[in-house]
Amino acid sequence: MTKERQKNLCESLTRLGYGRDKEIRLYGENYRLTSDPIVVADKVVFIDAAEPESGRSRRIRIPLSIIHMAIQNLSD
């Protein structure tokens, strides 16, 4: 994946609500996002998050279905 495509994917994911300072519910848990999306490989994207109750930091993989939606938004 080219750097430009990675940048576009990150921007699309951010528009979908997966950006810094957003709160999401993912994998049955609530999180406060502490980073923007991090593209590791083609269709492998992580985001840093903190658990609101404990403050514990985690790196969470964004579900493939969300990545597919973001890629679809790039094609539109």
Structure confidence by residue, pLDDT tens digits, 16-72: 999 999 999 998 999 999 999 999 988 899 999 999 889 899 999 999 999 999 999
* C-beta of residue 32 within 8 angstroms of C-beta of residue 49: yes
Question: For the packed helices 64-75 and 3-15, what is the interaxial angle rounded to 10 degrees?
Answer: 110
Contacts of 40 (CB under 8 A, 6+ apart): 46
Which strand (E) or helix (H) includes residue 74? helix 64-75
- State pTM to two decimals: 0.89
Confidence at residue 51, expressed as pLDDT on a 0 to 100 scale: 92
Confidence at residue 76, expressed as pLDDT on a 0 to 100 scale: 72
A 10 A CB-CB count for 49 gives 23
Answer whether CATH 2.60.120 is correct for domain 3-75: no
